[in-house]
A and B are shown apart, each in its own frame.
Chain A
Amino acid sequence: MSVVVVLDHVTKRVPDGRTRRTILSELSLEIAAGELVVVQGPSGSGKSTLLAIAGAMSLPTSGTVTLTGEPVSRLRDAHRAELRRDVVGFVFQELALIGSMSLEENLLLPLIPTGGASSAQKKRIEALLKRFGLSERARDLAASASGGERQRLAIARALVRSPKLLVLDEPTAHLDAENTANVLSVLTELRSEGLAILVSTHDARVAAHPSIDRVVQLRTGSLHGS
């Protein structure tokens, strides 16, 4: 299996008053295509920062990140945005949907910088809406969707550009058992389709799911165990 993302001795420091606080320290991680990796750790352990760096949304203070062979740290903003758009699908803990836009418009957002949806992409959006059971509500405002629908919409949007890496931050944090099971079922399908998937979670049900390949613990900025 080909390696999709490589984090090599990544350190991230952020300003904290007069000093700088280390969030991640000399962290290394590789995720291959078709691999589902779960990151666990207490609140404030740096899980979200790790996901942001792996998804090319944030740059490390030191160390290197390589996404599908591209050295992320060396890319200019526009190329990094392009890589993020073409290779990474990101699902935020808060879902990051624009509530005043319809479900369909939210799905179209990643396509706007490349000139809007082509006919093939429109078909893909229709297929994603159908796959996630959102076709009936495509024209409703995202703000009016239920928690489960919003979660599915966020995952659908992350998949619009057929990414190689799917990054999910606490995808089941606000879901009931049924919706959690649905999300895990979707992740299992996507893994079998060859996506590399990185999930951060507190949820033991997620970590214990049989489709998980690896569970890594993040403590004081470093990874432990698998």
Chain B
Amino acid sequence: MKRIRALASYAVSSLSRRRGRSLALIASLALSTAMSGAIFLLSTSLDATADTLAEAMPALVVQRMVAGRPALLTHADAEAMRDVPSVRQVTERVWGYLYQPALESNVVVYGLDQAAIAEAMGDRDASLADDEVLVGSVLGAALGLRAGDRLALVPAGATPSDDHAAILVLRVRDLLPERAALVHGDSVIASPPLARQLLGLAPGDVVDLALDVFPPEEANVVAARALERIVGARVIERDALTRRRTVTFDARAGLLSATLLPLLLAMLLMTFDRLSGLGALERKEIGILKAVGWSTRDVLTARMLESGILAMLGAALGLLAAYAFVFLLGAPGLSDAYLGWSNLRPELALVPTLDLDLVLFTLALVTLPFVAVSVFPAWRAASLDPERAMRGDA
């Protein structure tokens, strides 16, 4: 231990004597770590957010398919599911996409019953009047809306050339909180009748059914019952959605990592080149060390410690930079690649997430290849005959 401490102290002094080279290598490592770290941190944070949201999702969603396309359900379909064992609750959902020419984008209209609206507003007694809506924070920000403002929406079926009578002017009761932005950033929440009016649905039309199932293990059995009882039913399980989301985001993370791979390889090659291209001074220094009694193992250890210190410093700085980039700056540029492009894309308020496994994995991803590529040059340098090294023959 005493030997390693003394060699580490020599390694630090050696790095500080070659300040320029050391700083260049640290910067290159920090950049590589920051890039891969940002991807991992963003993935992990989105996973954590999505996991939280998944907990609030229904165990099963039942839709109807006609000719391979989604079709509407009715109240009778909901009633058909209510007496299925293990079904705790059936919610008839009214929702859909509504294109708004002024925004050049879709908004998502939800029709929620009073209990759900009270929950969304965080107020037990809250309810929406027939001409009132709740607006998602991203949509609100895009239109500069505040509680009490008027919001004009073009209902489904109307066109910009229609007279103004077709346009519905609604009162904004409130904006939805920012923490709901990832899912409800571009939402308009209304009572079911108003939502049906906006979406052009007939009274009693239901878009899909949300089933609360207990125990959760019975979801497969309930799904089978739904297929039997509802003609053309398609059942979507929460677990399947979670898997799809994981696969999609992991694939995007993989794609981004793959685009960074050439850069990482270039960094490793540069490192190898820098470390293997021993200058005359370095060769002479190794010769001196061996001449004063350092063994090949001592020289190798000192050089590996140098690489390790550089790698750890670079990786730690890179992780800090990645953390700041993702959680303080909101991952500008990178989040586009994850969440897609939209006029009403949510401004992400990412939940800072940093687990030890992720830190260790990112550190290992950068430091291990770095130390590995430095092994050969270090060994070659360390095994020089001191006399030859002094003469610069190596």
Q: Which A positions have Cβ atoms within 8 angstroms of B?
A: 48-49, 52, 57-58, 77-78, 80-82, 84-86, 90, 92, 94, 96-98, 100-101, 105, 109-116, 157, 161
Contact = CB atoms under 8 A, between A and B. Distances in A.
A81 B17 contact: no
A105 B293 contact: no
B285 A92 contact: no
B387 A113 contact: no
Given A81-B295, A100-B17, A116-B5, A52 B387 contact: yes
Given A85-B293, A112-B6, A115-B2, 7 more contacts: A77-B383, A85-B292, A96-B288, A111-B6, A113-B295, A113-B298, A115-B5
B390 A94 contact: yes
Contacts, number: 83
Interface stretch (B7-15, B136-144, B239-247, B325-333): B7-15
B13 A116 contact: no
24 contacts: A52-B386, A57-B290, A57-B291, A57-B386, A77-B295, A78-B297, A80-B295, A81-B290, A82-B293, A85-B293, A92-B291, A96-B390, A98-B288, A109-B288, A109-B289, A111-B6, A112-B6, A112-B9, A113-B3, A113-B6, A113-B295, A115-B6, A116-B6, A157-B292
Interface in B353-394: 383, 385-388, 390
B63 interface: no
A116 B296 contact: no
B2 A84 contact: no
Q: Rank and list the top 5 A-B pairs by shortest CB-CB distance, nearest first.
A: A85-B293, A115-B2, A81-B295, A116-B6, A110-B292
B387 A84 contact: no
Given A57-B386, A58-B385, A77-B295, A113 B7 contact: yes
Mostly, the B contact residues are helix
B294 A96 contact: no
Interface of B: 2-3, 5-7, 9-10, 13, 17, 284-285, 287-298, 383, 385-388, 390
Contacts of A105: 13
A81 B296 CA distance: 8
B287 to A, nearest CB: 7
A112 to B, nearest CB: 5
A212 to B, nearest CB: 25
A23 to B, nearest CB: 11
Contacts of A109: 288-289, 292
